[in-house]
Structure 1
Amino acid sequence: MTTAMVKQEIAVASFSKLYDLDQVGAALSELGEGANEALRSTYEKMLKVGNLRFCVKPNRMPSIDALLDALPNFGEPLEDVRRQVALCVGTEDRLELMPMLLLGAPGIGKTHFAKAVARLLGTSYQYIAMSSLTAGWILSGASSQWKNSKPGKVFDTLVNGSYANPVIVVDEIDKASGDSQYDPLGALYALLEHETAQAFIDEFAEVPINAGQVIWVATANDERAIPEPILSRMSVYEIVAPDREGARRIAQAIYDEIRLAHIWGQRFPAELGGDALDALAEASPRDMRRAILHAFGAARLAGRDEVRAEDICLERGSRRRPIGF
């Protein structure tokens, strides 16, 4: 079974209170005439949409074996997910997952894993690329006293989303950089601790919100660039390149995911041929996705409804190196 076939599990949902409506109302009433209009609108929206969000968890053991088959190099974190889900299935307890740090070479499938976990657990997914940050306050927001300031990604994901326990991916955390006034990782010291995260204060909104149920997945290539206090708050996993058979299974999973996501995919068979899988096994999952999408088009241009090895074009530099992808 491929990751595309691992459908969102039937989940049970309780409601979780994200913030105190009285506190928001008081903050709104204290705004003067010259106050930041974006802040005023934020408070008004918080009152309008209310403070309850879905907090979901599977109501039975999800199909983790299918993910293990499709993502064979993610066995350790997936087994830990299985253990934590097993603790709360059949009880009133909410799912608690320790923040994860996935260490591995670029393109090895770390963000794909996070998306698959969100789908498996039946919750939403938010992606934050730390390497492309232009401001250090992207997680925590910037003071409303600053021009063009706005809430951070955590506040926005929770308040404007439907779930109290989304999966939030902090990609390439080791490459975080911001302006000289803000530590881009500063907010994580509170957010990765369950107790302090329950009363997280975004610097723009300045009212506490409960971020204690967020499922955190961080990715990095080199842990040496990550502060020790951040590392100590996370379960750290070394993700190595899959062997050849594992790479073939990943290629099949990506092929199936792309095929099922498009109407034109119905023209193509469910299984890739062995020669095509062998060609793709030389690439990283990131390069596989690009190559497979192009291969679908190449096959159609050739008048075929089947992807062959001759349709697989891997750009120079995407070949697998001995140390990994």
Structure 2
Amino acid sequence: MSDLMRILPAIALRGTTILPGMIVHFDISRDKSIKAVETAMMKDQVIYLVTQRDPEAEDPGMADLYKIGTIAEIKQVVKAPKNTLRILVEGIERAEILGLENNDKYLEAEVAAFDQQDLTALSDNAKEAMLRNLKELFITYCTENPKISKELAAQLLEMEDIERLVDQIAIHLPLPYTDRQRILEGISLEDRYEALGLVLSNEIQIMEIRIDLQTKVKERIDKNQREYILREQLKLIREELGEDHTQTDAEQFIEEARKLQASEEIREKIIKEIDRFKNMNSGAAESTVMRGYIETLLSLPWDKASEDNRDLKKANEILEADHYGLEKVKERIMEFLAVRTLTQKGESPILCLVGPPGTGKTSIAKSVARALDKEYVRICLGGVRDEAEIRGHRRTYVGAMPGRIASGMQQAGVKNPLMLLDEIDKVSSDYKGDTSSALLEVLDSEQNNKFRDHYVEIPLDLSEVLFIATANDMQTIPKPLLDRMEIIEVTSYTENEKEHIAKEHLIPKQIKAHGLNKGQLSLTDKALKEMIHGYTKEAGVRSLERKIGEICRKTAREILEKGENKVSVTVKNLDTYLGKPVYTYQMKNETDEVGIVRGLAWTSVGGDTLQIEVNLMPGTGEFLLTGQLGDVMKESAQTGISYIRSIAAEYGIEPEFFQKNDLHIHIPEGAVPKDGPSAGITMATAMISAITGTPVKADVAMTGEITLRGRVLPIGGLKEKLLAAKNARIKKVVVPAQNKPDVEEMSQEITQGLDIAYVDTMSQVLDIALAGKED
């Protein structure tokens, strides 16, 4: 850098960089820039040109300007309209801006030029290598960029001075101002050479990629044009040969649409879509999507219906033959059929069969379809979490398809099938939508005559579909969805019912499935009862069917290996086929005991008994609960102890008793979680027994919830609980009085042999359960 500093008027350039040796004209309109030109013209016509970092800045400061600019000589000034000057300048040399002077009228910069002799001190070999490399790069650039004139390229390639060549290439190439600024900031020859080489290499790469993309696009366009021309030629050849009678896809679709059993409005909409398909290029990607959509519309049963069976006697025979028990379900189906026969139409009910697994909910839907001569479609909703599974995808998505309801109608081929919505309690929701909300429209008789699938778009009539839903737990079905369905409870089977089902359905089915004849296997009644009692413990009959299948497999092996003609399974040899009994029932206690009460519980696979134990020990009034109890049972225990403390005087319990003793409630099988509002009176009875030292009768079991004032509230799952009591050989069962209607609805088979006591208050429970009290 020279010692001579200069103070020059300056112009801040926007989007332009001037290099030394460039002769260029540009327009200026800012007042400060015009004043700077006027000042320069009055002196020696020398001005400092520096580029702004941000072209949008109106009044740039030192931080807004690049550090290196160009000292230039003004050659010409011409006034232009709208207070604009057009000036012609020639770049002289690079200079660094050191600072801006305080001048309100124009930009005045303190600049320092560079000593060029010190910056070009390179060996001749280095200069020659740089010259050859730069020429090679420039030739490649000119080859890729046809806009560079041949004359200019030849003129530049004739230069043998590397310094001059670098400057001239930078001046004449159409480069962005940022690249020119990078070259300008190369102070030494080596720096400028590197900057220019990098810019040229980048430009060559960009042009190669651009040419490659253009080639690919051109090839694709040419292919489409070629296919179009060939198709037109083929069409013309067929016409010349008299073969133009061959139907196109569009013509075939139109013919199918005219034959379609649908309203005129729907038919017109389908034909409109076919017309769009006809005018579409068959090579286009959208053509395949449109074809699939039209095929879906033509396969839907718009007005096509099947003839229902109206013979009540025949329907009843089929239902009775297929299923043992399930009286409520059969009765409701027969009522529906009677109404349909009288009215010739009648609204299809939406039934929901709720009950434990294996009780025949899914299979009864199939039997109903057979009894009514309806097409049967099963839609499994377990784990479905995407709303599009029900309503379909919108056709804007790649791979869009109709929802399960529309697909079910398509599969049935008629608009009045029986549609089974299996496991409706197991639908879920996530960020893709709420599946249960999508089902609201499907299961609402006021709305489903115009159900709109997102893919189909044309409203579907679901009003004649007979929907039957199944669920294991009614509590997990959303309330709005539950409100639209008629609930029919399919409860647990008794051991007697299981025996009938096994004889009439399961044994013949498994014998046939395993390739046996009726005479090759016999199972005695006692063996069957033992199998039901000792090898299965469930509400339904799935495990029982598997055990029968196990016997059939072993029978088949014996017939083939030992040459047996017939295998007879009795109680004595049952363990050779099934092993030792898997389940044992906890029988009633032999003697009356203090602090031990038998409770009744409902589980997802039937009923069970719980033995609640209470221990009393000296302490500080601590209250312990163990046995993996849920929140509801913990609250019931707290309510029970509060009730006992309120009536302590009646039982001669001293007030300070609860501060001097600890109470520990435990329900055995601690690994099994237990919860539910039906153990309140059981825990309260056990606590009073332990506190007063009064034994509880061994042959009494109970179920019911307790309030703070000792009232007994009703509970659910009573049928399963009573069956559990019978299995435990318990004679007396204490039940809330409000559950009396539930007991009266049960078959005599369940209640036979049980002495059921109905109670309203806790005092009645204690009178029945505690030994020494009168019944």
TM band (smaller chain): 0.7 to 0.9
Tell me: CA distance 1:244–1:173, structure 2 relative to 1, closer, same or farther (3 Å).
Answer: same
- Distance, in Å, in 2 between the alignment partners of 1:227 and 1:100 is 16
User: Which of 298, 301, 309 is residue 47 of structure 1 equivalent to?
Assistant: 298
Alignment equivalent of 2:554, drawn from 276, 298, 309: 298
Partner residue, 2:354: 103
Structure 1 distance, partners of 2:366, 2:381, is 17
The match for 2:335 is 83
Q: Write the mapping of 1:1-325 to structure 2, written as runs, cut at 5 A.
A: 20-30=266-276, 34-35=285-286, 37-38=288-289, 40-47=291-298, 51-61=302-312, 62-64=314-316, 67-68=319-320, 71-89=323-341, 93-94=344-345, 96-133=347-384, 135-255=386-506, 258=509, 262=513, 264-268=515-519, 273-278=524-529, 279-280=531-532, 282=536, 283=538, 284-303=540-559, 308=569, 310=574, 311=577, 321-322=607-608, 324=720
Q: Secondary structure at the match of 2:286?
A: coil
Aligned counterparts of 1:49 and 1:270: Cα–Cα separation in 2? 48
Greater strand content: 2
State the partner residue of 1:5.
none
- Contact kept, 8 Å, 1:123 with 1:163, in 2: the verdict is no
> 2:699 maps to which residue?
none
For structure 2, the 5+ residue unaligned runs are 1-259, 560-564, 584-603, 609-716, 724-775
Which letter does structure 1 place at the counterpart of 2:267?
L
Contact 1:25 1:43 in 2 (8 A): no
Aligned residue for 2:556, secondary structure, equals helix
Shift of 1:159: 2.0
C-alpha deviation, 1:125, in angstroms = 2.2
Structure 1: 5+ residue stretches without partners: 1-14
1:116, 1:306 → 2: CA distance?
32
Greater shift, 42-51 or 156-165, is seen at: 42-51
In the alignment, residue 439 of structure 2 is paired with which amino acid? Answer: L
C-alpha distance in structure 1 between counterparts of 2:496 and 2:300, whole Å: 49
Secondary structure of 1:108's partner?
Answer: coil
Listed one character per residue, the Cα deviations across residues 209-268 of structure 1 (whole Å, up to 9, x for unaligned) are 222111111122222222222111111112211222211122234326625865935445
Contact 1:39 1:205 (8 Å CA) reproduced: no
Q: Any idea what the Cα deviations from partners look like across 1:196-218, whole Å, max 9, x if unmatched? A: 21221111121122221111111
Q: Secondary structure of the equivalent of 2:304?
A: strand
Between stretches 166-175 and 247-256, larger displacement belongs to 247-256
Indicate the larger mover: 270-279 or 103-112.
270-279
* Distance verdict in 2 for CA 1:305–1:218, change over 3 Å: farther
Supply the distance in 2 between the matched residues of 1:172 and 1:136 (Cα, whole angstroms): 16
User: Shift of residue 98 of structure 1?
Assistant: 1.0
Residues 142 and 152 in structure 1, CA contact (< 8 A), matched pair in contact too: yes
Q: Distance in 1 between matches of 2:375 and 2:307?
A: 10
Equivalent residue letter for 1:232: D
Cα distance, 1:239–1:161 mapped onto 2, change above 3 Å: closer
Distance in 1 between the 2:495 and 2:355 partners?
17
CA contact (8 A) 1:57 1:94 kept: no
- Comparing 307-316 and 55-64, the one that deviates more: 307-316
Measured against aligned partners, the alpha-carbon deviations of 1:41-85 in whole angstroms (never above 9, x if no partner) come to: 232353367744333321311342663576455211211111111
Considering only CA atoms, is the larger Rg found in Structure 1 or Structure 2? 2
Q: Which has the higher helix share?
A: 2
Q: Please report the TM-score for the alignment, with normalisation by the length of structure 1.
A: 0.79
1:98-124 deviation digits (Å, cap 9, x = unpaired): 111111122222112212211221222
Q: 1:165, CA displacement in angstroms?
A: 2.1
Identity %: 21
**Mean alpha-carbon deviation: is it higher for 133-142 or for 109-118?**
133-142
CA pair 104-145 structure 1, distance change in 2 beyond 3 A: same
Q: Distance in 2 between matches of 1:293 and 1:16?
A: 47
